[in-house]
Structure 1
């Protein structure tokens, strides 16, 4: 029997966290400002639950942030289960809030279980790039492309935007996911968790030596991601909640209010074990 889609598994895992630790409610939803040219820190919303846990989600897909600012936000006190349901079946705004809620519930689980992810080593999700590697990218990571090319590594970028497509020595930007098959290492944006493309893309990295899924939206339980061939999950770990949320609201760099972390199967106890440890 095939595994359920990642989205379905994440919704179920959120329900299991709630069942094990008790119900949570929304404390506040923090939105980044609407900017003409947003920086990286202005791309994510934050959900804080009533125990203080915070989760993040990307907001720049298909007018999601505009919809949130226009009133698609949710009132404090809303049950977390209601918000998670929006990730399962809602529009872009509901999905973003729902995934951020799942990520906040995951942080709650980690805290209760005493689990601390390892610090992130680099922006490539600890892929340990070297001579002879061919790097696949899902999403257009401009700085990472330049880093990889400076190391002499050929890069294949899978994009959704036709205007970015090009091909030159050492670099291919394509709309065709089949081109990933020739890459032995892959780094992917966690936006796949929001736009219904995770399974579609994952089938093309099954034979890769290493796959890193990275981004603040990837703060969820990673079990289903590992089962789909991901070898490392990189996300943000919030260190100072008040300072962090103030910076999200202001669209300013997060700085020391958060740090990058990486979870690998070798250093992850597993969702079931975390639930047992958290009780």
Structure 2
């Protein structure tokens, strides 16, 4: 298991797909020139627009998606793995997939993952989001085989649901991915601690490219794309909300070392859940693995 270099590409995607492709390509080429073998872009790389009507005017089925086609050509041209953090993909029936793609150096799609958890929230600053009104949630996690180690795939809001990443780690994933378009408010409060927590509790690298800045549709995202090592140390960061690239070496041996030091996965035990009611004995209701 050899060491390789991973890169996070931080973007400020807007409403125009062609402009977003050009922005992503420039940053991907920059990362490849700096020695990256694996390059990840953020959630909603191809288009970032809040209006459902405007979104539907701009997206197409997977087979026709220009961003995916360009990334496949780029991967083959540069000889790198490209992880499109996610693209908005039109589905039959008028819904949309928030879909991540892993593209190998031959330009083939090696894995796909549809975001499972929908960001349906009302934030204290008045922001309100209902992803489920537009997007079709995924139904399964994805663990992809890279030449160096196994990679678990997730997107943005999934980071708040640690069972996904524990499942991936149990299945041998040594690198967890959480490309995102975190809001500024939630990012300032939770971004770093969530990324580091997922790394620490699973003894795994975390690679999370992000959107950053004020976008054409008026939303503001946090940026701060991160790479975290299996001990929870941030080893690379775009330390702002501006477009840029963060690179770090990924050493699979560090995953083995972290899991030997703190064998939390090996030490897991199933346990029972008991609930009490006034005037009655505690009742055993279920067992959790």
Q: Normalising by the residue count of structure 2, what TM-score does the alignment of the two structures yield?
A: 0.30
The structure with the largest alpha-carbon Rg is: 2
| More contact order relative to length (CA 8 Å, sep ≥ 6) | 1
Considering fraction of residues, name the structure with more strand: 2
Q: Normalising by the residue count of structure 1, what TM-score does the alignment of the two structures yield?
A: 0.31
